[in-house]
Amino acid sequence: MRKCVTHKRPYESYDSAESALIEARTRFDYAHNQGPIAVYRCEDCGFYHLTSQGKMNETLGKYLASGKIKLQKEADRWLDKLNKK
């Protein structure tokens, strides 16, 4: 895996970083106004990173507004319960 002086996880493309952003928001329970909300290209390494600063990623905003993130969280919880049996 590549490294960056920022110690943030690098993603080779915008699309892969955006997918990681959506997955992070689905997988983890962030407090209000916490957690990653956007993707940016790093000036140090040239790859993409997630950030909690700036304007919210458009795709993430749409997923949150439509309830897709909430539905996926609930589906994941049920899958975890079923897999533990």
Number of domains in the chain: 1
Report yes or no on 47 lying in a domain: yes
pLDDT of amino acid 31: 86
Report yes or no on 21 lying in a domain: yes
For residues 39 and 49, the answer to whether their CB atoms sit within 8 Å is yes
- Judging by beta carbons within 10 Å of its beta carbon (0-12, 13-18, 19+), is residue 78 exposed, middle or buried? exposed
Report yes or no on 6 lying in a domain: no
Show the domain range for 29. Answer: 14-84
Report yes or no on 28 lying in a domain: yes
Confidence of residue 85 (pLDDT cuts 50, 70, 90): low
DSSP secondary structure, 20-80, as one string: HHHHHHHHS-PPTT-S--EEEE-TTTSSEEEESSSSPPHHHHHHHHHTHHHHHHHHHHHHH
- For 11-65, how does the pLDDT look when each residue is reduced to its tens digit (9 = 90+)? 999 999 999 999 999 999 888 889 999 999 999 999 999 999 999 999 999 999 9
The structure tokens listed for 7 are 């110690």
